[in-house]
């Protein structure tokens, strides 16, 4: 269960992932050099996943999927714009195929050249436009207030429902693969399911930490000391709890936490729960990170490791990494249309973050996919 920091009654509205109401535009990591052996295409697709788009593209122009470079996967049920790379030798075939591709909901918006093939992760982030429907006027003030808080404080960086399949349970297959009770010959599918299990553990850890922070926010140091001992089995003094509660951000930094310069930079670990790191966090200079457990990852230490341990499966043999626990949406704007009860949102998120998680933070409950929220 995904938890959110703000305590208010859930808000309902209608959100449908459709090309009309959900628009995504990729923000490239760097400018194209206009020189080199790679052709860069800015592509707008509708009603297609990135993999489906690539398959059609390869069939039409006659190239292999391994020749196509892309930075990230984009939603199927949306109007999305992203960049892909191809060998420049295919330029003439691409030009000749534009009308055929357009008939299949793939439109080429621009051409460029670059020295390097686009690789996974080679993007700064994504810009979103979302139209929410059935937003009642009496909920608008509440939504405006939470959007102001989100602009300042950011949101938890959960993996969204899209990560876990149609029924939200593909991580269970990943766990079965790890446990040895299930074998899948398709290596790519097996790796995807295992990474889904890693994502599930991350989400569980993040919800656990948010629950802890809610206790620190709601209780006196004395009562919080008792609750943290009972529920989290933390060996921590009342004075340490008081210092944690004084940190300006809702999400508290614990000794041993993995921290990362935001949005780019190096990973480092908190030596103690000091106010300097907490100030840098509220100023959006750094952000705490959660573990996607696997090989070749350095574990957090001290209290942070104690809180991480329930969400580590030592049988995972995949490569591990760290992920921002908290992100800060940029350029968050909204426009309300009272005649239609529509709320139009636009914002930017760093790579790997989900727009639907921002919507969950707004409505204060999980979105499973589909229509009414």
Name the residues annotated as catalytic. 75
140: tokens are: 């608008």
Cα–Cα distance for residue pair 104/111, rounded to 1 Å: 19
260: tokens are: 């990362």
Q: Which residues are paired to 114 by β-bridges?
A: 38
291: tokens are: 């573990």
Give 66's DSSP letter.
G
- Alpha helices per DSSP H over the chain: 50-61, 91-96, 98-103, 137-153, 170-179, 187-218, 221-232, 238-245, 275-282, 302-308, 355-363
Cα–Cα distance for residue pair 50/210, rounded to 1 Å: 33
Nearest Cα neighbor of 252 from 232, 222, 282 is 282
Q: Is 372 exposed, middle or buried (0-12, 13-18, 19+ CB in 10 A)?
A: exposed
255 φ, ψ to 5°? -55, 130
């Amino acid at each position: 269960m995904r938890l959110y920091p703000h305590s208010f009654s859930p808000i309902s509205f209608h959100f449908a992932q459709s090309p009309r109401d959900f628009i995504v535009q990729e923000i490239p990591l760097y400018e194209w050099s206009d020189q080199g052996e790679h052709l860069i295409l800015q592509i707008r697709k509708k009603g297609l996943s990135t993999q489906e788009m690539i398959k059609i593209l390869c069939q039409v122009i006659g190239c292999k999927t391994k020749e196509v470079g892309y930075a990230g996967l984009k939603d199927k049920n949306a109007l999305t714009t992203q960049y892909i790379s191809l060998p420049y030798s295919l330029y003439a075939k691409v030009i000749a195929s534009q009308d055929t591709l357009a008939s299949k909901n793939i439109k080429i918006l621009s051409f460029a050249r670059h020295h390097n093939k686009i690789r996974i992760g080679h993007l700064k982030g994504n810009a979103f436009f979302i139209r929410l429907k059935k937003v009642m006027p009496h909920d608008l003030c509440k939504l405006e207030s939470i959007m102001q808080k989100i602009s300042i404080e950011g949101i938890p960086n959960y993996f969204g429902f899209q990560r876990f399949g149609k029924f939200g349970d593909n991580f269970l297959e990943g766990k079965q693969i790890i446990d040895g009770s299930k074998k899948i010959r398709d290596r790519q599918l097996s790796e995807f399911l295992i990474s889904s299990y890693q994502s599930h553990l991350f989400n569980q850890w993040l919800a656990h930490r948010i629950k802890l922070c809610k206790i620190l926010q709601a209780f006196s140091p004395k009562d919080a000391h008792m609750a943290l001992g009972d529920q989290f089995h933390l060996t921590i003094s009342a004075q340490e709890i008081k210092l944690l509660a004084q940190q300006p951000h809702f999400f508290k930094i614990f000794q041993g936490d993995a921290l990362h310069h935001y949005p780019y930079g190096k990973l480092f670990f908190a030596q103690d729960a000091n106010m300097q790191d907490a100030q840098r966090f509220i100023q959006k200079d750094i952000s705490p990170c959660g573990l996607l457990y696997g090989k070749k990852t350095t574990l957090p230490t001290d209290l942070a490791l104690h809180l991480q341990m329930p969400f580590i499966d030592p049988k995972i043999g995949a490569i591990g990494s760290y992920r921002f626990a908290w992100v800060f949406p940029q350029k968050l704007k909204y426009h309300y249309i009272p005649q239609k009860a529509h709320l139009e949102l636009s914002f930017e998120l760093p790579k790997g973050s989900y727009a639907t998680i921002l919507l969950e933070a707004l409505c204060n409950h999980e979105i499973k996919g589909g229509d009414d929220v």
